[in-house]
Structure 1
Amino acid sequence: MASTKKKKVKREGIKKKEMITVEVKKEIIEKYERGMRVADIARCYSKSTSTICTILKTKEKIRRLNAAKGVTRVSKQRPEVLEDVEKLLLVWINEKQLAGDTVSKTFICEKAKALYTDLTSKLPGMSTENEEGFKASRGWFDNFKKRSGIHSVVRNEESVSSDLTVAEIFTAEFKELMVSEGYLPQQVFNCDETGLFWKKMPKRTYIAAEEKAIPGHKPMKDRLTLLFCANASGDFKVKPLLVYYSENPQAFRKCKIQKSQLNVMWRSNSRAWVTCILFVEWINEVFGPMVKKYLLENNLPLQALLLMDNAPAHPPGLEDDLLEEFKFIKVKFFPPNTTPLLQPMDQQVILNFKKLYTKALFQRCFEVTNGTNLTLREFWKNHYNIVICLKIIDKAWDGVTMKTLNTAWRKLWPDCVVGHDLEGLVHEQELLLVDEIVSLGKIMGLEVNKDDIQELLEEHSHELTTNELMDLHFAQQQEVLEEISSEEEKTTEDSLTSNEIQEMFKMWERLQSFVEKHHPNKAIAVRAINLFNDNAMSHFCEILKRRQKQLSLDRFLVKEEQY
């Protein structure tokens, strides 16, 4: 008996071996190849030098592993396609999160199965039996949550049925607030983001068919994000925020565009999404000054209310981030999952903008090509860029009428709507707008009908396909190449020495270690660090690699000359 207890104590005293993730192994390899000594790496990760050497010996095998960020290990028993499923699933979940959507366990599992089916269908020799082998079971889901740290974005199934009840309660509370605080329709604002595939055309047009047939030619998947805002009376629109992949597109340099003079606030990041930082910038630099000026010019009390959804880009403590001169602005959030039911911008406003954008785009095509030798295909490929797109966005947003903006509040605040019979009129105008788009398309020789236009409008906010998720994942890895012009890159490289870059890497490594050690949520910390590595540090890695290649080439040429 005593012997058994002794063995038990001995087992309990054995420290559980800590697994090293695939991501960390790749980091170790990168650091070694940048010149960091094995002993220093071992100290950095609190590992033995023999462990680091073992990882370096198998570096080629580790490089081939393509685990999703946050996944702790790649099991030998797990098919490689499952790793791809989880990688794309994380991209999809992140897109949902950035859009302010929450997803349930069932929704995630269904998406995982769809991704698995799509990916296996592209592999040679995969049968239907193999495709049905992945069930996205409860065990898989629980392990996926542990590997990826997505606990905070998974929504309880039971909450779906309560959305309507919560929306009704919020509407009653909102009505009481309007009365008690004495808000006028001119003082109450709503803002919301939307994606825009600015070069997209109906699928049945020859332009879309041609694009599909050309490998690597995918301008129709070029997306930007717009944030629109207006007041409940509909007489005042705030300058939109626009977020794109590139800070300085080639067309900007060619047309000598001054971003400060644009009719949108231009910002950029790798995913073309609104972030907390960009949103706060827009609030303090655009929304606050414009609203204050509008209220003073119209002799209205200096108080305003901004209504918005609880998307991650909208910080809960936004009022604390307001500059002192804009403290008159109050912020109120819609309850989770009620924005499609209540949010004014979702009630035809954004859809109306996209119809007007499509109409203006077709008009531009017709005006440029009519009476010239320029074909529509040539216009689309060579004469339609982001600068022209901005002009069309401005025209379309200007075309959203006061009636449309005011009527959009009919569900949340019916008392502020001027003339309840306007709803039918606005609906008729929407139908007429679609007819005008179809007519313009046919004049240009495009094969389009009402269903094609409706499908095109829906695709701006459609569910991302497997191929689009793969494109997005790839685009995220290539952000530096898209954002930095060749001239700017050359200037940056010339001003930096290799020693300065290597010193910066050492400081970044120390910072990473500190954050990983002390951050309360390791999954969030790891994702943030990886995102910064992909979007910022990779640029400096490329500089060092190019210099090393050039140094090797110079040495080779010297030897050749000696011979």
Structure 2
Amino acid sequence: MASTSGKRCTLSIEQKLRILEALKSKTADDVAKQFNIGYSTVKKIRQNEEEIRKIVMNNGNLSRKRKRESPNEEIGEALIVWFHQMRAQNATINGPLMMEKAKQLAITLEHQDFEPSYGWLERLKSRHNIKFIKISDEQAAADHAGAEYWINNVLPGVIEGYDLNDAFNADETGLFYKAAPSGTLAVSGTHPTGGKTPKDRLTVLLLCNSTGTEKKAYVIGKFKNPRCFKKARPPLPYYSSANAWMTNWIWSDILQNFDQVLGNRKILLFADNASCHKIHETLKNIKIIFMPPNTTSLIQPLNQGIIRTVKVHYRTQVMRKMLQAVNYDTSIINYAKSIDILKALHMLKRSWFLVLPTTIQNCFRKAGFLVNDNTSDLDRM
């Protein structure tokens, strides 16, 4: 039997699971020695095996050590049942909403004296492994049925007769080109402070074909003639609008210029149905195919990881330059403020260059477009 120092050792659910697994092939004495705990502790864990595994099955917090019963367990259990019902319907639930529902349940269950506190709610969330997760994508509101129908019944007829090199996608994204990290790692108990993070924004239009052999980028800012352009010519086509957003005129000008460059080559250009994408001019070589409303998060190739990859490469460059600045006693915020549009365009051009053709092919495939399967495992999304 394992020798103990007399100091009480509290085991987590995860540790108890490991002990239960060990008991499948070893005696209780051997397990006690292996985990340096008492024989009686091993015996008790074996007796409570059903309850321990039930906690795991219910997605309980594996790091939890002691089971503390809520003084109003009935309300807590009813609240958790309601929570799972609401999340099954993809409802957005936050702390204040759970507190309000707890009050309603208290009345229903005839616990009128019950008043939920944030401490009570935090303990309840911890026991049931409930954490706040920021909602950051559009897929929940997307038209899945419409997207599937378009991919299976519309797309094959549209791309028939076109080479894979001639199927393009274009989409805009916002780029906070001066953005510094919004938080920091710090020693517990300290209160880090910092300057105001710049929110300067550019709109970037990315355009590429399904094989990843052709890539173009266009940038829209607020200023018609940025002062930094006096130093050198911008490395990417630059446009301006009052709010740095895409407009009908900018979209039309980009496509007319692209149409001329194509010569007599015929291509398909897939785009979302935003009002700024409507064009009245006749294009000789470009056939624009608008995707159904509320489906682009599912079937637009650029939204399947291409835009994200470009931004990752951009942020990597910014972080490297910030680290260099810190080494020369320049604060991160001050360096971020020094990034002008010209510097941002150079980093953006480099970021777009670093996106591999196989990454683009994977994203077209993920969106439902058929492309040649010559990808590597490294680039699979």
TM-score normalized by the length of structure 1: 0.39
Indicate whether 1:288 and 2:259 are aligned: yes
Deviation (angstroms), 1:271: 1.0
Contact 1:227 1:241 in 2 (8 A): yes
Correspondence 1:435-450 to 2 at 5 A: none
**How many angstroms apart in 2 are the aligned matches of 1:188 and 1:381?**
38
Percent of aligned pairs sharing the same letter = 29
Runs of 4+ in 1 over 4 A off after TM superposition: 367-370
- Structure 1 residue 231, shift from structure 2 partner: 0.3
Q: Is the 8 A contact 1:407 1:417 kept in 2?
A: no
State how far apart, in whole Å, the 1-side matches of 2:210 and 2:329 are: 44
Partner of 2:167: 188
Check conservation: 1:225, 1:244, Cα contact below 8 A. yes
- Tell me if structure 2 keeps the 8 A contact 1:360–1:395: no
Q: 1:386 to 1:209 in 2, by over 3 A?
A: farther
Which residue number in structure 1 is paired with residue 307 of structure 2? Answer: 350
The 5 Å alignment of 1:129-168 reads 163-168=143-148
1:149 counterpart residue number: none
**Structure 1: segments with no counterpart, 5+ residues:** 1-159, 213-217, 297-301, 429-563
SS of alignment partner, residue 215 of structure 2: coil
Instruction: Work out the CA distance in 1 between the residues paired with 2:277 and 2:172.
Output: 11
Give the aligned partner of residue 404 of structure 1. 359
**Alpha-carbon offset, residue 321 of structure 1:** 1.0
Q: Distance in 1 between matches of 2:380 and 2:341?
A: 31
Q: Which amino acid in 2 is paired with 1:385?
A: D
- Secondary structure of 2:223's partner? coil
Q: 1:195 offset after TM fit, Å?
A: 0.3
Q: How does 1:500-539 map to 2 (within 5 A)?
A: none
> Could you tell me how far apart the structure 1 residues matched to 2:336 and 2:165 are?
43
Go from structure 1 to structure 2 and tell me whether the alpha carbon gap of 1:347 and 1:381 turns closer, same or farther (over 3 Å shift). closer
Counterpart of 2:281? 321
Q: Deviations over 1:101-127 (max 9, x none)?
A: xxxxxxxxxxxxxxxxxxxxxxxxxxx
Between Structure 1 and Structure 2, how many residues are aligned? 237
Quickly say closer, same or farther: Cα 1:272–1:418, change in 2 above 3 A.
same
For residues 467-509 of structure 1, the C-alpha deviation after alignment (integer angstroms, 9 at most, x for no partner) is xxxxxxxxxxxxxxxxxxxxxxxxxxxxxxxxxxxxxxxxxxx
Give 1:383 deviation, angstroms.
3.8
Deviation string 1:366-419 (CA, Å, 9 cap, x unpaired) is 44565xx44244751564322211111111111111111111111344421423
8 Å CA contact 1:242, 1:267 repeated in 2: yes
Distance 1:193 1:162 in 2: 18
> Which residue does 1:426 correspond to in 2?
379
2:200 to 222, 231, 250: 222
Conserved in 2, the CA contact under 8 Å of 1:225 and 1:242? yes
Distance between the aligned counterparts of 1:282 and 1:270, measured in 2?
18
- Partner residue of 2:275 out of 312, 320, 335: 312
Partner of 1:176: 157
Does the aligned pair in 1 maintain the 2:259–2:285 contact within 8 Å? Answer: no
Offset at residue 169 of structure 1 (A): 1.3
In structure 2, what is the Cα distance between the partners aligned to 1:385 and 1:377? 15
Name the structure 1 match of 2:222: 245
Please state how far the C-alpha of 1:334 moved relative to its aligned partner: 0.3
| Distance in 2 (alpha carbons) for counterparts of 1:343 and 1:381 | 32
Q: 1:265 aligns with which of 237, 248, 263?
A: 237
Q: Counterpart of 1:435?
A: none
Instruction: Report the Cα distance in structure 2 between the residues aligned to 1:387 and 1:161, rounded to whole angstroms.
Output: 37
1:21-46 CA deviation, whole Å, 9 max, x = no partner? Answer: xxxxxxxxxxxxxxxxxxxxxxxxxx
Distance 1:388 1:264 in 2: 11
The answer to whether the 8 Å contact 1:190/1:230 transfers is yes
Measure how far apart 1:161 and its partner are.
7.9
Query: In the superposition, relative to structure 1, how do residues 272 and 378 fare at CA in structure 2: closer, same or farther (>3 Å)?
Result: closer
Matches within 5 A, 1:356-367: 356-367=313-324
- Alignment partner of 1:204 out of 173, 178, 183: 183
Question: In the aligned structure 1, how far is the partner of 2:193 from the partner of 2:176?
Answer: 16
Matched, 1:275 2:247: yes
- Residue deviations 1:78-100 (CA, integer Å, cap 9, x gap): xxxxxxxxxxxxxxxxxxxxxxx
Hey, what's the Cα distance between the residues in 2 that align with 1:351 and 1:162? 19
CA contact (8 A) 1:409 1:417 kept: no
Output the CA distance in 1 between the equivalents of 2:336 and 2:369: 46
The residue that corresponds to 2:69 in the other structure is none
The residue correspondences of 1:480-495 to structure 2 (distance < 5 A) are: none
Return the match for 2:341 from 386, 395, 420: 386
Q: Secondary structure at the match of 1:272?
A: coil
Aligned-pair distance for 1:362? 1.6
CA distance in 1, matches of 2:159, 2:144: 21
Q: Which amino acid aligns with 2:245?
A: W
Q: Distance in 2 between matches of 1:366 and 1:409?
A: 35
Alignment of 1:437-476 (within 5 A): none
Residue pair 1:203, 1:209 contacting (<8 A) in 2 also = no
Secondary structure at 1:211 match in 2: coil
Per-residue CA deviations over 1:401-452 (Å, capped at 9, x if unaligned) read 1111111111344421423x64x52257xxxxxxxxxxxxxxxxxxxxxxxx
Deviation at 1:251, TM superposition (A): 2.5
Give the partner amino acid of 1:222.
D
Equivalent pair of 1:365/1:379 in contact (CA under 8 Å) = no
SS across alignment from 2:235: coil
**Where does residue 211 of structure 2 map in the other structure?**
233
Residue 176 of structure 1, CA deviation: 2.5
Deviations 1:160-190 (A, max 9, x none): 98811111111121113223xx111101100
| Secondary structure of residue in 2 paired with 1:313 | helix
Q: 1:183 to 1:391 in 2, by over 3 A?
A: same
